[in-house]
Amino acid sequence: MSNTSKYFARRVVKSLLVLVLIAIFNFFLIRAAPGDPAEIMAGLSGGADAQTLSAMRSQLGLDKPVATQLMMHLRSIATFDLGYSYRQQEPVASLIMAHLPATLLLTTTAFLFALASGIYLGVQAALRAGRWSDSAITTFALLVYATPSFWIGLMLVLLFSVQLGWLPAFGYETIGAGHVGLARAMDIASHLVLPALTMGLFFMAIYARLTRASVLEVSHMDFVKTARAKGMPERLVVRRHVLRNALLPVITFAGLQAGSLVGGSVLVETVFAWPGIGRLAFDALAQRDYALLLGIFFVASIIVVAINILTDIAYVLADPRIELK
């Protein structure tokens, strides 16, 4: 077995252990919040008597000992049966699947936008270090970084939706328009612009600052000077030697951000009425919908673990000196 294969085998085993620990931790974490789903369902229905509440608890399995509830939870996730949301009266898996595509579309768009524009701006700023364009990019990045994203979102809505009327203010698509095919894709894209910008701008600023600092640092290293001394064109020096080495901290941060992709953003999804999983998780927490919340946490933890492994692979691709052992 090669070193790489051994590495991945070890990582998968460790990851499974991590997933179980996360599942146990989440199980106790959500029960630490006061109230339970039965109390909330009864309360929001206008009240209940003791017998009804007790029947609801029994139906939800809340009358069983905590250890039994934990074992039931672990058994259900081991079989990928994420359970049933009595609150929403739907299987948890179907609720997650209904919200996941919208979240992935939003977060992936925001992620790619942030990564591409952030790296581009960072490199441009570093290559023009000390000039006015560097100051302009750095100031812009600082401004965007320091501004709360919900405020940016509201301002974007005011400008592009209310004042200019170019883009829809909220929603996933035009309801009732009956678009299909390309027309629907374009419609969704127009709805996607503002939330993706709102979400992506903050990360763009981080990538830009990170890339700038890293490129500046690498630019003064000996191997870069050697490449220049050998007469290599500047464009190739930057692409092959500077950027490739400078990207390692960016990849680390991108891995962290990618980990949050599946969780969505409660704030952006709320402001833009985006039907994503962040909002679903928030509502599930507010309703103490244990099954749904644990299901979302479980799916999110799988994706985070998988992205961590992918980040390791990205390190190797960016820098061949790194070996997976």
In the complex, the residues that contact another protein under the rule CB under 8 A are 33-36, 39-53, 55-56, 59, 84, 86-90, 95, 98-99, 102, 154, 157, 161-162, 169-173, 175-176, 269-276, 279-280, 283, 286-288
H or E segment at 20?
A: helix 3-31
Q: CB under 8 Å to 203, separation ≥6 — which residues?
A: 110, 111, 114, 115, 118, 257
Output the smallest distance, CB 236 to another protein, in A. 48
**Residue 71 and residue 66: Cα distance in Å, rounded?**
9
Output the smallest distance, CB 199 to another protein, in A. 15
Output the smallest distance, CB 53 to another protein, in A. 6
Query: Which of 247, 238, 12, 13 has the alpha carbon at shortest distance from 119?
Result: 247
Using alpha carbons, list the distances in angstroms from residue 33 to 37, 43, 183, 207, 263.
11, 16, 45, 36, 20
Of the pair 79, 163, the CB lying nearest another protein is at 163
Of the pair 31, 244, the CB lying nearest another protein is at 31
Of the pair 187, 209, the CB lying nearest another protein is at 187
Is there a contact between 253 and 210 (Cβ–Cβ < 8 Å)? yes
Output the smallest distance, CB 183 to another protein, in A. 18
Output the smallest distance, CB 201 to another protein, in A. 19
Q: CB under 8 Å to 14, separation ≥6 — which residues?
A: none
Of the pair 2, 51, the CB lying nearest another protein is at 51
Of the pair 53, 221, the CB lying nearest another protein is at 53
Of the pair 41, 114, the CB lying nearest another protein is at 41
Output the smallest distance, CB 257 to another protein, in A. 23
Output the smallest distance, CB 21 to another protein, in A. 25
Checking 39-44 for CB contacts under 8 A at 24+ apart, the result is: 39/288, 40/87, 40/287, 40/288, 41/86, 41/87, 41/287
Of the pair 35, 233, the CB lying nearest another protein is at 35
Output the smallest distance, CB 274 to another protein, in A. 8
Strands (DSSP E) found in the chain? 84-85, 90-91
Q: CB under 8 Å to 123, separation ≥6 — which residues?
A: 211, 212, 215, 238, 243
**Residue 151 and residue 50: Cα distance in Å, rounded?**
45
Of the pair 145, 170, the CB lying nearest another protein is at 170
For 118-149, b where at least 16 C-beta lie within 10 A, e where not — what string? bbebbbbbbbeeeeeebeebbebbeebeeeeb
